[in-house]
Amino acid sequence: MPDQALEYARANRPRFLEELKALLRIPSVSTDPAHAPDVRRAAQSLAAELERIGMENVRLIETSTPTRNGHPLVYADWLHAPDAPTALLYGHYDVQPPDPLDEWLSPPFEPTERDGNLYARGAVDDKGQMYMHLKALESLLAAEGRLPLNVRVILEGEEEVGGEGIAAFVASHPPELQADFALVSDTEMFAPGLPTLCVGLRGMIYTEIEVRSAKTDLHSGMYGGAAPNPFFALAHIIASLKDQSGRILIPGIYDDIALPDPQELAAWQALPFDEDHFRASEVGAKALVGETGYSVLERIWARPTLEVHGMPGGFTGIGAKTVIPAKAMAKLSMRLVPGMNAATTFARLSDYVQQIAPPAVEVAVRLIHSGEPCLIPVDNPFIHAATDAMRQVWGRETVFVRSGGSIPIVGDFARHLALPTVMMGFGLPDDNLHAPNEKFHLRNFYLGIESILRFLQLAGRAS
Amino acid sequence: MPDQALEYARANRPRFLEELKALLRIPSVSTDPAHAPDVRRAAQSLAAELERIGMENVRLIETSTPTRNGHPLVYADWLHAPDAPTALLYGHYDVQPPDPLDEWLSPPFEPTERDGNLYARGAVDDKGQMYMHLKALESLLAAEGRLPLNVRVILEGEEEVGGEGIAAFVASHPPELQADFALVSDTEMFAPGLPTLCVGLRGMIYTEIEVRSAKTDLHSGMYGGAAPNPFFALAHIIASLKDQSGRILIPGIYDDIALPDPQELAAWQALPFDEDHFRASEVGAKALVGETGYSVLERIWARPTLEVHGMPGGFTGIGAKTVIPAKAMAKLSMRLVPGMNAATTFARLSDYVQQIAPPAVEVAVRLIHSGEPCLIPVDNPFIHAATDAMRQVWGRETVFVRSGGSIPIVGDFARHLALPTVMMGFGLPDDNLHAPNEKFHLRNFYLGIESILRFLQLAGRAS
């Protein structure tokens, strides 16, 4: 039987792409207060589109409180399938900052097609993937006049800055989020053409370590040799956080980890992973690093890690300035694996940093945001419907992987709403997430829409 | 006998101050290419002023070459005292960048008087001190119609970026710089009201250590735990450059040092130096750091040091970005003491950094600029004239100190032109050189003009 919704999705590919480009032109950088109006504009345009395709009860839900400026949630639903389950479709419309700008081959907010890919900030993370949901819903509503199950859509604009607003909303158990399962498309396929479901995510703590060493910036000639330098204190602290083999030296950090079971580990070993290709072509490094005794996939998916993202302070311009800065900072995050929790991990990091800090300086360790790790049980009817849908669209069996990244909302859905989440993502390993030249492979955009459409049809019959 | 030049200088203080303010309003930041027109504008205004007060042969000397954009030198002379010696008066009209801007109490390029001080970038380093020379010359020429000795003035606009242009000019032994001694006012008094001559300067090498770890920025979730992070490499390198007692660990770095003689060390011990006041009020630190076994003054004046000024790379904005940057950098300088030389020191630093760099990353060590250390023999008639002049103006005996800072031109004058330099400076220890809220104490500006005027009179009779 020809599927009219599928035909509609195929026939409208060019328009879907143009719509996505319009969305990508909005620089909805959630971390930058200057872009707050753009973030809102993105939310409004999505609300208008949800309305247009026939979703109901469409509205923005504000997340600001007296003490914080939040970005709005976008809500919509269609609830006219009384005998079918209810899906909660989640995505985020905010994006990472585009810097360093000079490394982009085309402007980050001017979507550009090259070699079957669409290049733009947010192309894959997550505007492009989120937009697949909307276009699957449009195809079903336009072709069939109805959806095969009940659907609630919730879109957030703070995923890249910790998702505080939606976390509070989910924790309040609102009736708007009553559902049987959640669908999130913010992950990637393990290899091109290989259908993939993500069933585990790392959590994270994002922190700032600020060292203050003097009351004012000092001249390195007049004071060098006597005044403490905050960068030496930070270098000492950072160099003391991991040993040369990559093991984290924070006491207790490995105490609570739940190791993957032997079956999951065996499945990872069967994945088509070429470490040398990963090193040379994806990372582009002379050598990989990390904890000895663990495979690359274990290190990324099942081990806690610690990274420094930037060290603001002092003079960072072109040329020379001979300053001993009064203060400097390290932006540092940790990824957490199942068994760990954010509050305990932050306390352990903070205590250890204070303990190893040189006595001449003052050190403050601040938590910027956090999210818990999570693991999805794979034996449920929605995961089965997802693998069936992917087999039909891609012609191959689905692999189960974890992600080293963090999507805190998935843990919140499980903890507060007892929802299993299907993480069906269509990014590719070389999509440059969070980096210059982010892209989305257009075939994955189109087949992703078909996969989601088919999944919603099959999930409508699951019970 | 009343001195008419001195009376002229006193009578014209208000105008001198207004003229200095006009000069300080020009943001002649030499390290920033965007300010190149401002740097030139400062040079032109000084040339016009030299012309106006009666100096001759006034002109800009260009320092650009086919491979670099240089800032101009300003030259002027007055050579009508055939039986008197010739003085070379040096100063610089470029300034350090003003950042961090938000820590200035008044705008850096809007000179503001508070509590007997003039606040502005360049107030003391070196526009204010250089301008004392011009106003001493004006007072002598206006009151007496002539100068008590021959004078050449050379002003540069690249002191804060290494002084490459003037170094090349001096090395070419131009007739414009033929003189018997040089006068430089770019140092400070050891304590308020205590006349001070600086007789030793540290040299420096300013470097950039760049670590490249990957071909592109990477997502810390997707790659954290396997991809090398340039900040860990830099932290490891920086933490390995000095031990906990402050000793530099670069092999051979202390091999060639010429120690101060016992007489000079004894004189330093007699100086009114209060370590606790220095720590608490000048530096504003919990504790001082530095090589054990050496006093603070020895550490600053007679020991090599190494400082990190900034670590550009990655994400340094407000908020969170979970990036493993592809590259990061440390801006790092060393101060050199007599016996050391810049080329050898840079080679030792560079070799050591390459040796301790983690194998997973590529490291480049670049020399941005350098200057040699120097020591002035104190037993010469111009130093004697200087101490006599200072005794007359300040009513106290002069102390001889060194500076931890670097004025490479003084070494160049000695090496290429065999000129002794009188470093008669009127900054104060709390003038915030190179930092926010740089200031010049106005009494020092006015008495500095009188000291220089008197010194030129006495030097005219020296032989």
Closest Cβ opposite residue A221 in set B214, B290, B405: B405
Task: Examine the domain organization and report whether B337 and B321 are in the same domain.
Answer: yes
- The answer to whether residue B32 neighbours chain A at the CB level (below 8 Å) is yes
Task: Please indicate, yes or no, whether residues A327 and A437 belong to a single structural domain of this protein.
Answer: no
Tell me the pLDDT tens digit for each residue of A172-192. 999 999 999 999 999 999 999
Could you tell me if residue A422 is inside a domain?
A: yes
A positions 64-123 inside 8 Å of B (CB): 96-97, 99-100, 103
- The predicted pLDDT at position A319 comes to 82
b/e map of B294-325 (b: 16 or more CB within 10 Å)? bbbbbbbbbbbbbbbbbbbbbbbeebbbbbbb
The answer to whether residues A350 and A363 belong to one domain is: yes
Best residue in A308, A327, A340 for a mutation probing chain B (most B CBs within 10 Å) = A308
Give A212's pLDDT tier (boundaries 50, 70, 90): very high
Q: What is the pLDDT of residues A364-403, one digit of tens each?
A: 999 998 988 999 988 899 999 999 999 999 999 999 999 9
* CB neighbour list of residue B47: distance below 8 Å, 6 or more residues apart: B58, B59, B60, B74, B76
State whether B190 and B146 are in the same domain.
yes
Question: Above 70 in pLDDT, residue B319?
Answer: yes
The domain that holds A364 is classified in CATH as: 3.30.70.360
Q: pLDDT by residue (tens digit) across B85-134?
A: 999 999 999 999 998 899 999 999 999 999 999 999 999 999 999 999 99
pLDDT greater than 90 at residue A26: yes
The CA-atom distances, in angstroms, between A439 and each of A21, A26, A196, A436, A444 are 12, 16, 19, 9, 11
Same structural domain, A310 and A408: no
Pick from B371, B397, B413: which residue ends a domain?
A: B371
Total of domains in chain A: 2
Contacts of B122 in chain A (CB under 8 A): none
Please report the ipTM that was assigned to this predicted complex.
0.84
How much is the pLDDT for A463?
65
A308 touches chain B (CB under 8 A): yes
Do residue A42 and residue A82 come from a single domain? yes
Please report, for the domain that includes residue B135, its CATH number.
3.40.630.10
The answer, yes or no, to whether residue B463 has pLDDT greater than 70, is no
State the virtual CA torsion across A385, A388, A389, A391 in degrees, nearest 10.
160
Asked whether residue A252 falls in the same domain as residue A210, the answer is: yes
Is B273 a member of any domain?
A: no
**Within an 8 Å CB–CB cutoff, is residue B278 touching chain A?**
yes
User: Do A167 and A19 have their domain in common?
Assistant: yes
pLDDT of B235 higher than 80: yes
B411 to chain A, any CB pair closer than 8 A? The answer is no
Check residue B408 and give its pLDDT. 82
Mark whether B313 and B441 lie in a shared domain. Answer: no
- Residues within 8 A of B (CB atoms), A 242-271 only: 242, 244, 246
Among B320, B351, B371, which residue terminates a domain?
B371
pLDDT band at A2 (very low <50, low <70, confident <90, very high): low
Is A364 among the domain residues? yes
Residue A393 domain-assigned (yes or no): yes
The 3-class secondary structure across B148-211, one letter per residue, is CCEEEEEEECCHHHCCHHHHHHHHCCCHHHCCCEEEECCCECCECCECEEEEEECEEEEEEEEE
Residue A179, pLDDT score: 97
User: In the structure encoding, which two tokens stand for residue A352, read together?
Assistant: 């250890």
Q: Are strands B323-324 and B218-219 parallel, antiparallel or unpaired?
A: antiparallel
Mean local confidence (pLDDT), B322-328: 94
pTM greater than the 0.90 cutoff: no
B86 is a domain residue: yes
Shortest CB distance from B316 goes to which of A222, A289, A316? A316
For residues A87 and A152, the answer to whether their CB atoms sit within 8 Å is yes
pLDDT in tens, A29-83: 999 999 999 999 999 999 999 999 999 999 999 999 888 889 999 999 999 999 9
Residue B353 shares a structural domain with residue B207: yes
Q: Are residues B158 and B74 in the same domain?
A: yes
Q: List the domain range (segments joined by +) for residue B350.
A: 203-257+304-371
DSSP structure class, residue A188 = B
pLDDT tens for A150-168 read: 999 999 999 988 888 999 9
Distance in angstroms (rounded) separating the CA atoms of residues A87 and A312 = 43
Q: Is residue B243 assigned to a domain?
A: yes
Q: Which of A6-15, A147-156, A316-325, A444-453 shows the lowest per-residue confidence on average (mean pLDDT)?
A: A316-325
Return d(Cα A62, Cα A67) in angstroms, integer.
Answer: 13
- pLDDT for residue B292: 93
CA angle A383, A335, A158 (to 5 degrees): 75
Q: Is residue B297 part of a domain?
A: no
Quote the pLDDT of residue A104. Answer: 96
Going by pLDDT thresholds of 50, 70 and 90, the confidence category of residue A433 is: confident
Range from A39-43, A73-77, B65-69, B294-298 carrying the lowest mean pLDDT = B65-69
Q: Of A128-132, A364-368, B370-374, where does mean pLDDT reach its minimum?
A: B370-374
Among A331, A347, A371, which residue terminates a domain? Answer: A371
B325 in A contact zone (CB under 8 Å): yes
Domain membership flag for residue A272: no
**pLDDT value, residue A462:** 80
CA distance B99 to chain A (A): 8
B336 and B395 share a domain?
A: no
Q: What is the mean pLDDT of residues A291-318?
A: 95
Q: Kindly report, residue by residue over B256-284, the tens digit of the pLDDT.
A: 999 999 999 999 999 999 999 999 998 99
B interface mutation test: which of A28, A211, A243, A289 has the most B CBs within 10 A? A289
With contacts defined as CB-CB under 8 Å, which chain A residues touch B276? none
Find the CB nearest A322 among B246, B278, B434. B434
Averaged pLDDT score across all residues of chain A = 95
pLDDT tens digits for range A235-286: 999 999 999 889 999 999 999 999 999 999 999 999 999 999 999 998 999 9
Give A17 to chain B, closest Cα distance, Å. Answer: 26
Half-sphere exposure of B350 (CA within 13 A, CB side): 15
